[in-house]
Amino acid sequence: MRKDVFKYHVPALFDESLQALNIHPSGIFVDATFGGGGHARGILESIGEKGRLYGFDQDADATANLINDNRFTFIHSNFRFLSNFMRYYGIREVDGIIADLGVSSHHFDDETRGFSFRFESALDMRMNNRAGKTAADVLNTYTEERLADVLYVYGELKNARRMAAAIVREREMKRITMVSDLLQTLEPFTRREKEKKFLAQVFQALRIEVNQELEALQELLVQSLKLLKQGGRLVVITYHSLEDRLVKNFMKTGRFDGRVEQDFYGNILSPMRMLGKPVLPSDEEIDVNPRARSAKLRVGEKG
C-alpha cells in the first residue's frame, strides 16, 4: 500500500492485523476505527466484488479520508452503536471486525484539539467534537474525589489525590482552560527525568474520561460477539494495559472480570477462543513508527 495513505495515521501492526482477520473475497467486515482509512483500504484490496466493508468513526476529521468504493459504507458514529447501524443496513452477521484503539497520529499532531501536551491549545480532547464534555469541563467541575479517581484509575498515577487537590485549589482562583494552565498546575509533581511519561499518563486519564473509552470498548466487544459469524474473527490493537486487560479477559472468558467458568471436565466455557499469543511490533517497525511501541494485537475467534 502507498505510504501517502498513512499521512493521517500510521497503523501499528498493519500487515499482522489484516492477516489475522482471515479475509476472504465475499466476506462482510467492519473497521470500527476508520480514522485515516489505512486498514479499510487494506481490507478493500483483499475482498472481491461481493465483499462489503463498513467503517465507523465519530470524528468529523475522518470524513476527509473517505473511500470512493461501492463496497464501502462509512458510518459517522461511535463504534458503541455497532449493532444499531448494522441492523439499519440489514446486516445480521459479519465475518470479521477490526478495531485499532487509542488516539491517531492525526489527533496527537493537531495543535487545536488538546490531545497533546506539546502544543498550547484549549483542553478539549473530544473525539467527537460535536457533543459531550471537554477535558476542561472535567478539570473544572468534577469533585476532588472524582478527579483523583480519574487520575488514579485511568492514568495509574500514584499521587492522584495530591494532584486532584492542587487542581481544585488552582480552579478556585481561575478556570483551567488551556494546556499551559494544566501544566503549570502540575509543575510541582513533574520530575524532569520522567516528565513526558508523567504528562502522557495525565492526558491519557483525561482523554479516557472525556470520551468514555473503556465503556465504549466494552459495548463494542459485547456487540461484536453477537454480530460475528461462527468462526468470525475479532482483531483488536490496544495501546495501554486498561484496554488490553478488557480485551484479553473478554476473548479468553467472555467476561470483563476474567473469571473463568469451566464445565464438569475442567474445560473453559467461553463463547470466543483467543488465537495465539499477543503480537507485538518488531524493533524495525518501532524504529519507523515510534508510536507503535506500546501496541499489542489480540485475535479472538467466535466458537
Q: What is the pLDDT of residues 128-141, one digit of tens each?
A: 888 789 999 999 99
Instruction: Supply the pLDDT for residue 3.
Output: 46
- 185 Cβ partners below 8 Å, 6+ apart? 166, 167, 170, 176
Give the 3-state secondary structure of 138-203. HHHHCCHHHHHHHHHHHHCCCCHHHHHHHHHHHHHHCCCCEHHHHHHHHHHHCCHHHHHHHHHHHH
Asked whether 94 and 233 are in contact (CB, 8 A), the reply is: no
Q: Cell 498546575 sits at which residue? A: 185
Instruction: Supply the pLDDT for residue 11.
Output: 86
User: Taking residues 256-269, what's their average pLDDT?
Assistant: 82
Residue 2: pLDDT over 50: no
Domain boundaries, the chain: 3-105+213-302, 111-211
List the one residue out of 24, 78, 34 whose CA is nearest residue 54.
34
Residue 264: pLDDT over 90: no
The model's pTM: 0.91
Asked whether 242 and 154 are in contact (CB, 8 A), the reply is: yes
User: Taking residues 4-8, what's their average pLDDT?
Assistant: 54
Instruction: Supply the pLDDT for residue 267.
Output: 79
If you classify domain 111-211 with CATH, what class do you get? mainly alpha
Q: What is the pLDDT of residues 169-181, one digit of tens each?
A: 999 999 999 999 9
Instruction: Supply the pLDDT for residue 262.
Output: 81
Whole-angstrom Cα distance, residue 235 to residue 21?
Answer: 6
User: Taking residues 223-237, what's their average pLDDT?
Assistant: 97
Give the chain's mean pLDDT: 92
- 277 Cβ partners below 8 Å, 6+ apart? none
pLDDT interval class at 143 (50, 70, 90) = very high
Higher pLDDT, 97 or 110: 97
Q: How far is CA 149 from each of CA 97, 241, 293, rounded to the nearest angstrom?
A: 32, 17, 27
Find out if CATH 3.40.50.300 is the number for domain 3-105+213-302. no
User: Taking residues 78-104, what's their average pLDDT?
Assistant: 94
Q: What is the pLDDT of residues 280-300, one digit of tens each?
A: 999 999 999 888 999 999 999
CA 174 to chain CA centroid, Å, is 33
